[in-house]
Amino acid sequence: MFRRKRKASDFSSEMEAHIQLETDRLREQGVSEREARAAARRAFGNVTQAQERFYESGRWLFWDDLGQDLRFAFRMLHKSPGFAAVAVVTLAVAIGANAVVFSALDAFVLRPLNVPQSESLYGLQFGGGHRGALSYPNYVDFRDRNRSFDGLATYQMTRVGLGTGNNSTRAWLYEVSGNYFDVLKLQPYLGGFFHSSDEHGAGSAPYIVLSYAYWHGHFQDDPGVVGRRAEVNKKPYTIIGVAPPEFRGTFLLLSPDFFVPMVSIEDEEALNRRAGWWIFETIGHLKAGVTPAEAAADLSAIGDYLQNTYPKDVGKMNVSLDHAGLYGDTFGRPIRGFVAALMLLAGLILLAACANLGSLFAARAADRSREVALRLALGAGRLRILRQLFTEALVISLTGGAVGIVGGMLLLRRLIAWNPFPQFPTNVPLNPDANVYAVAALLAFVSGILFGAVPVRQVLDTDPYEIVKSGSVTKLGRRLTFREMLVALQIAICALLVTSSMVAVRGLVRSLDSDFGFEPKGVMLADTDLAMAGYPDDAVPAMQERMIEQMQAIPGVTAVGLANCPPLAGCGASRASIFADETADLRPSNVAASTMMYQVSPEFFVAAGTPLLAGRALTWHDDKNAPRVAVINETFARKLFGSQTNALGRYYKTWNGTRVQVVGIVRDGKYANLTEEPQAAMFMPLLQSPSSQTYLVIRSDSNPQQLSGAIRSRLRDLDSGLPAFIQTWPKEMDFFLFGARMATVALGVLGALGAILSITGIFGMAAYSVSRRLRELGIRMALGAEWKEVLGAALGRALKLLAFGSTAGLLLGILASRVLASIVYQATPRDPLVLSGVVLAMALLGLVATWIPAQRALSIDPARLLREE
């Protein structure tokens, strides 16, 4: 096993020396040179035998054999480069896919956050619709009253205008509690962090900590940035430090450009209001020895205390903990589910590849049965021959694995650089680490062993005398069944993937055309926030009216609406609790419904294309001096008033007790995502509930490129310090289709891989079957068989397998579509197009795979064949 202690050449020279010495001795006794040498050799005995015994006495035989096996394996593979290439590519694809998917698993599930001791870092979830969100006073109570955490930090993602020098850009920040960096146990890369001791009420601690990426990208790694002034929404701040490079915030899906203390940016009212849930997530490290369950009980007790103390403002909280990074079940569950499903599929692909290669290997072993028989007859051990086969399998699998890893890493590098949503700095750390390489190497090794093992029985059962004598291997024919099962299995897997991807594609296409309750096509959204440009609240409505006027003046524009945040846009609309008009006690347990809340201009419904079903739309006369009114949707009307007709003119109360009259009813729509159930929504007039967050909804006939240019220039004319983001509404909706798109693309890719594998599998089997039965087919043809009969005999089994596997896969695919429906809106297998598409695809696949073997079978020349055999 280990290093050879002594070289064979050393041993040979010792033997030569021996013979020389003996010859010398004999010469001294007077014997002639020739005779002396002969005698010395005689006395020595069998030189070769001595050498062989020396050779075998060593423990290095294993490595020697391995070297021999490797050389032989390379020679054999070199002789059949086609086979080697197919095998290597097949495996490379399968292992590359696994490496990529495993990287995602690694990034999202195995090591979610890149902070010290991330395993004890938990995020709080409060149950109900509010997920992890809290109000600031509630956060402070949780922070100060709990006994389970080494500090609790909280953060909220906000988009702001960041001014450095004289230009203003939009940037994402985390507004965080003062203890944020200390709770996360982070050290600054440059400068310093702020701490809880810096917080002295609203407006204090105007400090900025830049993320490393933002510093690198916008400040060109300038260390002089520390101490520089900057403006956040026109308020003066000081940059005090840069966060470490590997830290990208505590929510994987959104990495901030910089961090500021929450107290510095929020006003008195926000920091003191106990009702509401506006802070995104609260996180902390569990104290040593405290289990998540104990901590959750501790926090729930605090929740109960808050509910009892502030019954008007605080509802029931069922606190649970989840590892920080993916915001609990909200994002964690679908992402984990998706990645797990991908991993499963990638595993199936690899299994299919192994099955395929196994059958190719078996076919090869059978083709080589003469060679194997010859080696057996010459006295080679069966074990030695098996070792040779395994060596070949491993050479292929490890080469394939290496190619796959390299390919996978190239793909990953592109994925990391890819930012699907330009307005969000998503930054998923898909960095391959040692785990990924180890897993890929392990997979390569295991698959080598797996498919290398397929022909084992074949070799063990080889009867050298029979084969060498007759030259035929008809006896092996029966043994094909196992291989056939493997091929059938991968056809089924392929059909499953093809079905799922077609269902997904159809679902996606349908969801693009479906009824959203508004018409996104032909609408441009211009998204800005007047607070970013430093407008005081009372100046906002006038500015917004001017913006609308300016947009209406653009040629080709048919309608302009304005909303704080339109449905299905990346801004994340607010929700509000409402009460029935009769309710006097506005405690959380008396809430009548939780609804989506939009603040809109009168023309919003026209611009968005939302049909008004009853009553009137809002007008510019619904202002501060007029009675409070709202337009609601069908679900709202049904939930609160029983029916549409009932709802018109009726009143309800908002969270602070204001009575609002229903003046109009609009069609239900999709609001937060595409797969949601119908939910209640209300639209408040902009002048009665103003918002500095501004989305201009601009419907027009002109082309988007031109329009966005015109919009931009007019906005600049209005206020050059107002950063805006302009894109079409369908593009904005990509955010909600992202999951579905990813699922579709992934399934499509996997389906294509599956198809490639199935084609090679069927091809291998069919080709094998034809070459095995050449003689029989030749005889049949000589006896006058029709081409149909010949093809039936040659390919019948392959085609039967194809039909059987496809059917099984299709059925499985239909079952799997239920799972898919949760990711892709309107995914259903009950679709004639999907069913016929799958059948057609599988038939095509069969045709492609059997084409060459069929040609070969039909071109048999019986006379020549019989002569040769």
Partner 1 sequence: MSTQEERERLELLQGTLDLLILRTLIFGAQHGQGIARAIQQTSDDELLVEHGALYPALQRLEERGWISAKWGISSNNRKARFYSLTASGRKQLGKETTKWKRLTAAIGRILESEGG
Residues engaged in binding partner 1 (CB under 8 A):
5-6, 11, 13-15, 17-18, 20-22, 24-26, 29, 31, 39, 42-47, 49-50, 53-54, 57
- List Cα–Cα distances, 732 to 292, 422, 520, 610, in angstroms: 38, 10, 9, 18
The rounded radius of gyration (Å) of the Cα atoms in the chain is 37
Give the nearer residue to partner 1 in terms of CB position, either 5 or 478. 5
d(CA 838, CA 498): 7
The 3-state DSSP class for residue 675 equals coil
Q: In the complex, what is the shortest distance from the CB of residue 380 to partner 1, in angstroms, rounded to a whole number?
A: 25
Q: Which amino acid is at 358?
A: G
Give the nearer residue to partner 1 in terms of CB position, either 45 or 832. 45
DSSP 287: P
Query: Helices 434-452 and 382-417, interaxial angle, to 10°?
Result: 150
Is residue 600 within 8 A of residue 676, CB to CB? The reply is no
Burial environment of residue 542 by CB neighbours within 10 A (0 to 12, 13 to 18, 19 or more): exposed
Give the nearer residue to partner 1 in terms of CB position, either 28 or 585. 28
What proportions of the chain, in percent to the nearest 5, are helix, strand and coil?
Answer: 55, 15, 30
d(CA 838, CA 835): 5
Alpha helices by DSSP H, listed for 167-266, are 180-183, 212-218, 262-265
Give the nearer residue to partner 1 in terms of CB position, either 38 or 742. 38
Q: In the complex, what is the shortest distance from the CB of residue 9 to partner 1, in angstroms, rounded to a whole number?
A: 13
Alpha helices by DSSP H, listed for 514-625, are 540-552, 604-608
Element (H, E) at 214: helix 212-218
Lookup: tokens for 38: 């002969």
Q: In the complex, what is the shortest distance from the CB of residue 488 to partner 1, in angstroms, rounded to a whole number?
A: 55
Q: In the complex, what is the shortest distance from the CB of residue 65 to partner 1, in angstroms, rounded to a whole number?
A: 20
Give the nearer residue to partner 1 in terms of CB position, either 37 or 368. 37
Is residue 164 within 8 A of residue 214, CB to CB? The reply is no
Q: In the complex, what is the shortest distance from the CB of residue 404 to partner 1, in angstroms, rounded to a whole number?
A: 44
Q: In the complex, what is the shortest distance from the CB of residue 8 to partner 1, in angstroms, rounded to a whole number?
A: 12
Give the nearer residue to partner 1 in terms of CB position, either 18 or 273. 18
Q: In the complex, what is the shortest distance from the CB of residue 58 to partner 1, in angstroms, rounded to a whole number?
A: 9
d(CA 313, CA 276): 8
Give the nearer residue to partner 1 in terms of CB position, either 59 or 546. 59
Report the DSSP pairing between strands 557-563 and 523-529: unpaired
Is residue 485 within 8 A of residue 430, CB to CB? The reply is no
Alpha helices by DSSP H, listed for 310-381, are 328-367, 369-377
Give the nearer residue to partner 1 in terms of CB position, either 55 or 305. 55
Give the nearer residue to partner 1 in terms of CB position, either 34 or 830. 34
Give the nearer residue to partner 1 in terms of CB position, either 47 or 343. 47
Give the nearer residue to partner 1 in terms of CB position, either 6 or 457. 6
Spatial neighbors of 293 by CB under 8 A, at least 6 apart, are none
Burial environment of residue 677 by CB neighbours within 10 A (0 to 12, 13 to 18, 19 or more): exposed
Q: Compute the residue count for the chain.
A: 869
Give the nearer residue to partner 1 in terms of CB position, either 18 or 575. 18
Q: In the complex, what is the shortest distance from the CB of residue 14 to partner 1, in angstroms, rounded to a whole number?
A: 5
Q: In the complex, what is the shortest distance from the CB of residue 55 to partner 1, in angstroms, rounded to a whole number?
A: 10
DSSP 98: H
Q: In the complex, what is the shortest distance from the CB of residue 26 to partner 1, in angstroms, rounded to a whole number?
A: 7
Q: In the complex, what is the shortest distance from the CB of residue 381 to partner 1, in angstroms, rounded to a whole number?
A: 23
**The 3-state secondary structure of 431-449, one letter per residue:** CCCHHHHHHHHHHHHHHHH
Is residue 294 within 8 A of residue 154, CB to CB? The reply is no
DSSP lists the bridge partners of residue 153 as 283
Q: In the complex, what is the shortest distance from the CB of residue 37 to partner 1, in angstroms, rounded to a whole number?
A: 13
The 3-state DSSP class for residue 678 equals coil
Give the nearer residue to partner 1 in terms of CB position, either 22 or 719. 22
Q: In the complex, what is the shortest distance from the CB of residue 68 to partner 1, in angstroms, rounded to a whole number?
A: 23
| CB contact burial 266-288 (16+ within 10 A = b; e otherwise) | beeebbeebbbbebbbbbbbbee
